[in-house]
Structure 1
Amino acid sequence: MPIYFFWGEDEYRLTKAIAALQEKVVDPIWADFNEDIISGEETEAVAEGLYQALTPPFGGGGRLVRVEKTTLGQRCSDALFSELERTLPKLPDTSHLLFTSEKKPDGRLKSTKLLKQYAKFQEFALIPPWKTEQLLEQAATAAAEKGVSLTNAAQEQLVAAVGNDTRLLYQELEKLSLYSAGKEGALDESAIAQLVTANAHNSLQLAKAIRDANTNHGLQLLADLLNRNEPALKIVAVLVGQFRTWFLVKLMLEKGETDKQAIAQSADINNPKRVYFLRQDVQAVSLQQLLNAFPILLNLEADLKRGEDAVNTLQTKIVQLCRIFQRNSQ
């Protein structure tokens, strides 16, 4: 009775996992008879899924029943729970029952606890855009899968262009794979600039604009982010994370530390090779300037949480932050 619960907002990776399961379970010749896709938004979706999963497959291969966008991880009636309790142990080994949801199942629900006794749970969460280290690791893994060799600078530029959009990451790597065919050596940032379109501005670019005291560019980046419905608090989280990393790197350099491993450990950087680029990022700014940014960022977060107008508040604070990093303030 193979049962699965796939959840998360990374639609691309989730879709790939479903396709892999489908290829493993369903004989293509008998797919029309042995694959059922049920909308989880329907009232009787779970009950119908259980009923279909009890049905033996027709012909070769197994049966795959998919209950998509299920709400089972958020609510479950007593009647449905009783049905789950009765049916799950009886599902045949030839039937595979898959629940999918964007939302994380509520571990407090008795239905979730019951499912965990029988089902394999797999998370497909998007990496938050402010977790640069994880995004770089994801890009490196994906590049290896596609057989694309990238320099560290090229990886950073690729992540800056695609953000946490996994589908876009693989699309761009497919393009880079075709470009690099027959070429020796790793692709550098010039290849990324030539081939990869920065489809959307991200909050890391906004952090760099502030560091460079480029007020006009920073305000334009902010407008682009808000036009794409980027949550204001998420923008702030990215800024805080980036300035914290810069501050810790600069602090270690000011102390005279030269060992990349030690700097990386102090600044919570998983890949010590990134220290080289971070040193360049903070070369033209002072430790005091970076330190002065934090009260403004904390006030910005507090104002937003109090319900202040997001656009006006963000614009005002970005102007204040840019003033800190003007050359004549050093």
Structure 2
Amino acid sequence: MKDLELLLKNIKNKELLPIYFFHGEEPYFMDVAVKCLENEVLEEDEKAFGQTIVYGKDTTMAEVIASAQQFPMFGNINLIIVKEAQDLKWNEEDVKVLEHYIENPVPTTVLVFAHKHKKLDSRKKVSKILDKKRFLFHSEPVKDWSLAQWISGECKSKNIKTDPEIPVLLAEYLGNDLSRIANELQKLKIILKDGEVLNHQLVETHIGISKDFNVFELQKALGQRNAAKAMHIAHYIGKNPKSNPFVMMIGNLYNYFSNLIIYHTMPGQNSSVIAGAMGVNPYFIKDYAEAARNYPLKRATRVISILREIDLKSKGLGANQTEDSELLKELVYKILNVDQVKVKA
């Protein structure tokens, strides 16, 4: 969500809007904003009479607007929060009622909608009015390529110092579940001592991600063309499919070799520029430089073809169904011997 920090700052400073309509595919940012409104708009002793929380499936738009039009019984503000607003049923009359209220909100009411998992239709009049009034806030998912960067920012905001590899490792293993990532980081913040740096050992101990047998180490071993280490890691990962889903392995290796191709297309550029194009921390450029020597552009392109071939096999296309553990070992072997294996066009 754009300008989330500014939005939270304004709420805490009591610079409030009459309407907040949060919508979009990513629920985490909405949860953060709504929680801030719950905590900051009213004092604890005002909440009993001034705060109303309802759920979309249990109410109607007409009831919500009727509540919003009431003046506070005590205090100066009525806070009305509609959670799971995507479950509200809107008929044409409801839409007109909402549009009218948006144009003429009650100044003593703060009306909040959390419309999760999907966007409002931007073509609709109600969306255009909300947007024009700057009451509409779109909560977009963090793109996979920028997830590690987002985690790094969250660590900084929580004053968690990390080794450079840690945001990448967490992104690869926790995926795009921002709520889970935030919870894990909060847990780590409580555990870490003052000045302690979050490293692989702490991540392995408290989150369960192995510091030696993970896709990050597999990438590094493949980049170095260290056959013994890469096959050893593949064997271990294959024995722990729940902790290492094959689809995640394929996705991360595809991103890695795609980044390697980007590296080849930017000769002479400085590390920061290349890292920016890849969406990675500049710390890792030295690893890509080594991998680039082992995988020239033509070889890296062939690896992408191998990854696509194995991905199709994993989906049962063009071959008998093979266990993921065996497919991973086949994949690693073919990458290491990319010049000798046949690659399907």
- TM class by shorter chain equals 0.7 to 0.9
Instruction: Confirm or deny: 8 A CA contact 2:84 2:115 kept in the other structure.
Output: yes
Whole-angstrom distance in 2 between the partners of 1:311 and 1:221:
22
Cα offset, 1:245, TM superposition: 0.6
Aligned to 2:93: 79
Equivalent of residue 78 in structure 2, options 63, 84, 87:
63
Aligned to 2:112: 98
Aligned to 2:156: 144
Distance 1:18 1:139, change over 3 A: same
Equivalent of residue 35 in structure 1, options 40, 51, 76:
51
Aligned to 1:158: 170
Gaps of 5+ in 1: none
Distance 1:57 1:279, change over 3 A: farther
Say which SS state the counterpart of residue 278 (structure 2) adopts.
coil
Q: TM-score when scaled to structure 1?
A: 0.74
1:8-44 per-residue CA deviation (whole Å, 9 max, x = no partner) reads 45444322211211233223212122222222124x5
Query: Which segment is superposed worse, 81-90 or 29-38?
Result: 81-90
Distance 1:159 1:297, change over 3 A: closer
Cα offset, 1:262, TM superposition: 4.8
Whole-angstrom distance in 1 between the partners of 2:188 and 2:78:
38
Whole-angstrom distance in 2 between the partners of 1:56 and 1:309:
67
Distance 1:9 1:221, change over 3 A: farther
Whole-angstrom distance in 2 between the partners of 1:173 and 1:122:
25
Query: Amino acid of the residue matched to residue 334 of structure 2?
Result: I
Instruction: Confirm or deny: 8 A CA contact 1:25 1:61 kept in the other structure.
Output: no
Equivalent of residue 131 in structure 2, options 116, 124, 135:
116
1:144-196 per-residue CA deviation (whole Å, 9 max, x = no partner) reads 22211122123333333433332333333334334443336x44433333433
Query: Amino acid of the residue matched to residue 4 of structure 1?
Result: Y
Whole-angstrom distance in 2 between the partners of 1:106 and 1:204:
39
Aligned to 2:36: 20
**Superposition RMSD in Å:** 4.1
Whole-angstrom distance in 2 between the partners of 1:222 and 1:286:
31
Aligned to 1:193: 204
Query: Amino acid of the residue matched to residue 30 of structure 1?
Result: E
Whole-angstrom distance in 1 between the partners of 2:166 and 2:336:
29
Whole-angstrom distance in 1 between the partners of 2:319 and 2:242:
11
Distance 1:125 1:258, change over 3 A: closer
Q: Where do residues 1-330 of structure 1 align in structure 2 (5 Å cutoff)? A: 2-42=18-58, 45-71=60-86, 76-102=90-116, 103-118=118-133, 120-128=135-143, 130-131=144-145, 134-183=146-195, 186-198=197-209, 208=219, 211=222, 212=230, 216=235, 238-249=252-263, 251=264, 257=268, 259-264=270-275, 267-269=277-279, 271-279=281-289, 285=295, 287-298=297-308, 312=321, 321-327=331-337, 329=339
Query: Amino acid of the residue matched to residue 207 of structure 2?
Result: V
Identity %: 20
Aligned residues between the structures: 311
Query: Which segment is superposed worse, 142-151 or 271-280?
Result: 271-280
Gaps of 5+ in 2: 1-16, 223-229, 341-345
Whole-angstrom distance in 2 between the partners of 1:46 and 1:310:
53
Cα offset, 1:298, TM superposition: 5.0
Whole-angstrom distance in 1 between the partners of 2:334 and 2:110:
59
Say which SS state the counterpart of residue 64 (structure 1) adopts.
strand
